[in-house]
Structure 1
């Protein structure tokens, strides 16, 4: 971050275990700092007022509130604050409402670290660019707006499709090609052998594709009964 200022994050989640997982995930991503964990409506509003974080990680359902109502309130306030919904809520009207209010991202539980990391890195890129533009000028160009909104505009110079750090488009294409020609689920180890990379690298690409809903993951039980995570193209 410019000036070494970390992005301050408030976790609003009533399940302590889930909140702790999110906090530990954040600790693994450079440039972020957890400034608090709120488990109720009062705690959330108090910490927002006191800490004035850059970003909320917000659930939908709480015993004493609806996270979407809190989202509306934060968007009506004058201070700038962004929100990533992290929730088990899958109802399309809830997703649509969250998007229409203005969430930066919507992640469905259970959270896969690679998907979480991808979202936070995109936000970091957005936050850094916005901060830098604000220091340089009061006005922006169309290209700068497109970059902030992560738009892929055909024909623009220096066009680049966004991929998270560590994901190479050619390797990603190879992984998809291997899965597409198989009629069965493949483990990360089998994919790794096919394309000539480590098992860890293959798993990183596979989990990225799962997070993008390009493929799906399932569990298969081997001969000794231990489950293995297998990956396959949507049927």
Structure 2
């Protein structure tokens, strides 16, 4: 299996604080190299012409143009450049047009570190598959479509069970992953997220069911065994 060279990334974001957060997140992801930060659409066009990065992290709301305009500019002039939207724009029309423009992923602010890095990991896996194969079977094509978010998905109303909020879900994952000890109980997670043990357990068990977390029984010296949750 051939290893990929570092993936060059251009950040297009006019909010300096958000651009800095994206930069720090990117630095913690293996296999990626920041080559520039553009604060406007025109500046992004200049960076694209000079650097021709492999990946662009693109905001929708720029001072001089909509990020969607830049998506179509990239598609017209730089077909080899991939795009991940990182934006506060959640309007369905904008999401639809971004998908039509072939964006690899669409991240809605505020971005959680876990979701950000998962997107980059999927993108790296996507490129690795393309690099290591000259011909793909149906299963491999399905995997590529899943990576890019283009595979068929259920209605948004059934993506998550009732009572499961996506933002809280990612927060629970991050709480467990940030813990360096031997797993956390539902009560401990609840205390960290500011919720009851019952609420925390509901999220934790759902995450176990979709293989985002794992669980095991911990036998202490006194009392009943406790169910603890670990990062996968």
Q: Into which bin does the TM-score normalised by the smaller protein fall?
A: 0.5 to 0.7
Could you tell me which residue of structure 1 aligns to residue 33 of structure 2? Answer: 33
Q: TM-score, normalised by structure 1?
A: 0.63
Deviation at 1:103, TM superposition (A): 0.8
- Whole-angstrom distance in 2 between the partners of 1:85 and 1:92: 14
Q: Tell me how far apart the structure 2 counterparts of residues 47 and 130 of structure 1 sit (CA, whole Å).
A: 26
Query: Please, what is the CA RMSD of the aligned residues?
Result: 3.5
CA-to-aligned-CA distance 1:83-103 (integer Å, 9 cap, x gap): 000001111111111111111
1:192 paired with 2:184, answer yes
Decide which of 138, 147, 158 is 1:142's aligned counterpart. Answer: 138
Superposed CA offset, 1:98-119 (max 9, x none): 1111111111111110110111
Q: Whole-Å Cα distance in 1 between the matches of residues 44 and 69 of structure 2? A: 12
Distance 1:124 1:195 in 2: 36
Unaligned runs of 5+ residues in structure 1 are 152-175, 181-186, 215-235
Q: Which residue of 2 aligns with 1:53?
A: 53
For structure 2, the residue ranges without an aligned partner over 5 or more in a row are 148-160, 165-171, 177-182, 193-199, 213-232
Distance 1:126 1:195, change over 3 A: farther
Give 1:17's aligned residue. Answer: 17
Shift of 1:31: 0.5
Is 1:113 the counterpart of 2:113? The answer is: yes
Q: Deviations over 1:26-85 (max 9, x none)?
A: 111110010100011221001111111111000001110110000011112254011000
- Alignment partners' CA distance in 2, 1:106 and 1:58: 9
Q: Is the 8 A contact 2:12 2:57 kept in 1?
A: yes
Distance in 2, matches of 1:47 and 1:77, equals 13
For 1:78 and 1:194, locate their aligned partners in 2 and report how far apart those are by CA, in whole Å: 48
Asked if the contact 2:7/2:32 (under 8 Å) is kept, the reply is yes
- The TM-score normalised by the length of structure 2 is 0.64
Q: How many residues align?
A: 170
